[in-house]
Amino acid sequence: MSKPLLTFVALVASAGLALADGDPDMQGPPTKAPVRSGLTATMAVGPGELHIVPDSGSESRTEGAGFSLRVGTTLSPTSTFELMVDFVDGSGTRSTVAGAALKFYPADPVYVRLGGGLGVLSTAGAADPMDPTAGGGTSRHGGVAALLAAGYEWLQLRDIALFGELEVTGNRLTAENAKTSIVNAQLMFGITWY
């Protein structure tokens, strides 16, 4: 073999050995398992639907943008506690859930989130859906909310994951005359830092 060819083969072999050894300070490739430890932060966006379901009368549905912002801490490599603010915003009506959730990984990279908190329905510049006789302006109605979500981390690095998630939240308004439930459904895409 010629000297340039031998030099090329030696360089390729040494580069392969260096990659096999790995650098512990470098970000790992997607094939390495994620290291879930410490603080976490998540941001996600996607399309959503907001359903206003009165005990009597017809349901109304609004489509709009969904958003989720979460901060938390890992409890173990397969569970996380998160504080969250999730909402669906469409056509002057916004349904927000602020609270906490537990995130479990029953099988990597699949996870489930269960949580709850305070739900708020806000309307701006439109008739109040709880009181159609009222004029425009901003109205807010609160209630107790619950959350259920399932997701899949389709790209996992050592400390970052890209995911898709289907989330459903329910909010029962607590005002005496409200007698209404709010249901949000959103398909979220986002990023989590571990």
pLDDT value of position 27: 56
**177: which residues sit within 8 A by CB, 6+ positions away?**
130, 131
Which residue from 70, 76, 83, 46 is spatially nearest to 186, judged by alpha carbons? 46
| pLDDT tens profile 52-64 | 988 888 888 899 9
Which letter does DSSP use for residue 9 in this model? H
| pLDDT tens profile 171-192 | 998 876 778 899 999 999 999 9
| pLDDT tens profile 93-143 | 999 999 999 999 999 899 999 999 999 998 876 555 555 545 556 788 899
Domains (ranges, CATH) in the chain? Answer: 33-193 (2.40.160.20)
Mean of pLDDT over the chain:
83
